[in-house]
Structure 1
Amino acid sequence: MGKLTPLAVGERNAAKLMDMTLPEFKSLVKCGSLPAPVQIAQGPQRWRVADLDAILNGEAMNSEQITW
């Protein structure tokens, strides 16, 4: 079996993926600059790796919110 790529990660790993400290990551999530986590059933909250990737690639940008 090949290497598995995570679909979702916890808060600490999400911060690591973004190369941020945990407080920086939490702050950006709180103010809405980064996506909120998803709740998995009644279990833990996780961040979709695809959502974080879309932020970094500019795919999640809302052009209506940009002021030139």
Structure 2
Amino acid sequence: MALSLTCKACGEVISGESEDDFVENAREHARGHGHVGPALTREHILARFEHGYSAPGQHGH
């Protein structure tokens, strides 16, 4: 299951083919763009995905 999320700070799309890929790509993006501090946890990243995701026809969840 592919995951993706658009960074609200810069508009870049962060994606991964698996949850592990997505988390690692999100960490790399955040570090590379200075968006967050070094304590970016897996739970924080996945919570951002869950909060920012809405399937077509839905208004968040």
TM-score normalised by structure 1 residue count:
0.28
Name which structure has the greater RCO, CA cutoff 8 Å, separation 6+.
1
| TM-score normalised to structure 2 length | 0.30
